Chain A
């Protein structure tokens, strides 16, 4: 079983809508999270990190972490067609630790 589970596998939202992604770690050692986005034909690019309980907002992107349940979510408000991509959650044992475990990803399609 993968240590990091993501849901849903895919998601379609209308332009201007809210896209939400979920990620859960099954290993209590892995509780520091990053979100990455990968457009077709490109490498993944980091969106944001979250290491503390609560919300973290960067522009249209908001991440939420609950360390007790090892659950992290990412929300994109006012979704744009350019947000259509594969979204990965990555977990590590501590900040600055490089033994990342990646989830399988959620494919987002924003419909214009």
Chain B
């Protein structure tokens, strides 16, 4: 089985740009998560979908961050407009009723 696929692996953006990160969950998984990882804050939940319905939108991340699940096998995370403090690794994870999360390799975003 293919794991979670994230693209791009690296993204460099200018301040104010719009970036879109993509995620394909493990086939058959019905839960999908977006996390942000930084050295200072660790892993922070951005969004959580169950069977394509948004269950959690990460509170503090609402204003410039928008995650969507267009179908059961594809999700996007849009950051608009980007700020230098958004520089981080963005991780997508999926799960199927077991509680175990399967993470992708992450998208490293650098905002100049």
Q: How far is the CA of A104 from the CA of B4 in the complex (A)?
A: 23
Among A42, A49, A102, A104, which residue has its beta carbon within 8 angstroms of that of B99?
Answer: A49
How many A residues have CB within 8 A of the partner chain?
24
Which label, helix, strand, loop or mixed, suits the secondary structure of the B interface?
strand
- Interface size on B, as a range, is 20 to 34
Contact A34 B99 (CB under 8 A): yes
The answer to whether the Cβ of A45 comes within 8 Å of any Cβ in the partner chain is: yes
Q: Which of A90-110 contact B (CB under 8 A)?
A: 90, 92, 95-100, 102-105
Contact residues in A for B103 (Cβ distance below 8 Å):
43-45
Contact B95 A104 (CB under 8 A): no
Query: Closest 6 CB pairs between A and B?
Result: A43-B103, A102-B43, A104-B42, A46-B100, A96-B99, A44-B103
Q: Which A residues contact B (CB, under 8 angstroms)?
A: 2, 32, 34, 36, 41-46, 49, 88, 90, 92, 95-100, 102-105
